[in-house]
Amino acid sequence: MILKPLQMTDQLRTGVELIDRQHEEFFARANQLLKKCNRTDALNENEINQTLDFIWIYIIEHFATEEELMNNYEYPAVEVHKRAHASFKKRYMSYREQIQKSGIEQDTMKKLMFFMRDWFFRQIVTHDIKMAEFLKSEIKVNTGLKARLQELMSKFFPSA
């Protein structure tokens, strides 16, 4: 079965540009993995491990961005959101351990892709959109937050 690429849709847009752009970057990285897994020839272990690292690095940066904003601007549901991040990291790591132990198998890669897609979809719809609503209302009264978002935008997306 061919896995479909992850895509930004209106339903997944939070309205905070930084967060949406980071999600799109995550989708792009996950789709690189997908492309490698959808190939009919043998999976290239090195290539896949590199892509898994590439995704991991971005996940860490993305979660850290959201957590910084939630902590610094006193988002009430910060703990629940952080727990969700921690649980994603744990599951992702356990997939990596499994891959390390038994090698790269189509089945494991598919499970990992499904997990990532499912998790991100739910996470955005249930947690990120709420966090974004908070940030959007906070931005109106907090010039520090506005400046910080701009600063992070130019750090992550220098050409924007």
- In the complex, the residues that contact Fe ion under the rule CB under 5 A are 128
Q: Is 141 exposed, middle or buried, given 0-12, 13-18 or 19+ CB atoms closer than 10 A?
A: exposed
Indicate the residue among 55 and 128 with the shorter CB distance to Fe ion.
Answer: 128
Indicate the residue among 16 and 112 with the shorter CB distance to Fe ion.
Answer: 16
Indicate the residue among 113 and 128 with the shorter CB distance to Fe ion.
Answer: 128
Q: Is 23 exposed, middle or buried, given 0-12, 13-18 or 19+ CB atoms closer than 10 A?
A: buried
Indicate the residue among 33 and 128 with the shorter CB distance to Fe ion.
Answer: 128
Provide, rounded to whole angstroms, the least separation between the CB of residue 4 and Fe ion. 20
Q: Which residue is nearest to Fe ion, using beta carbons?
A: 128
Provide, rounded to whole angstroms, the least separation between the CB of residue 53 and Fe ion. 20
Provide, rounded to whole angstroms, the least separation between the CB of residue 22 and Fe ion. 7
Asked if 152 contacts 19 with a C-beta cutoff of 8 angstroms, the reply is no
Long-range pairs for 69-72 at CB < 8 Å and ≥24 separation?
Answer: 69/131, 69/135, 69/145, 69/148, 69/149, 70/131, 72/145, 72/148
Provide, rounded to whole angstroms, the least separation between the CB of residue 160 and Fe ion. 18
